[in-house]
Amino acid sequence: MAKAGQTQALHYHAIAGMHGCMPNYGAHHTAYNDAVEDLAYVHELGRLRTRALREDGYLELNLHKDGNEYCEIVECQGPDCEPGVS
């Protein structure tokens, strides 16, 4: 954890889940593209949906097909964030 007044390096949280609930998938990445590829792999997104996720940082999913209702990438640099603990 960063000390008071310090910020950590920019990183990204790849998360997925159901609307209105805590995310049921989360991973920490140091690069945006790594977060995109992670979510694309987990949900087998294919090229078109991976491109949409990369451009928007958010993608609505089909619960029955993908196992989640959404996935998104959240940029973080907060002092209270503990990378590796998603």
User: 19-56, pLDDT tens digit by residue?
Assistant: 999 999 999 999 999 999 999 999 999 999 999 999 99
- Assigned domain for 31 exists: yes
- Asked whether the predicted pLDDT for residue 3 surpasses 70, the reply is no
- Assigned domain for 3 exists: no
Cα separations (Å) of 45 from 62, 69, 86?
11, 13, 22
pLDDT in the model for residue 1: 46
- Assigned domain for 65 exists: yes
- Asked whether the predicted pLDDT for residue 18 surpasses 80, the reply is yes
| Predicted TM-score (pTM) of this structure | 0.82
**How many domains does the chain divide into?**
1
- Assigned domain for 4 exists: no
- Assigned domain for 81 exists: no
- Assigned domain for 2 exists: no
- Assigned domain for 17 exists: yes
Instruction: Name the residue range of residue 56's domain.
Output: 11-76
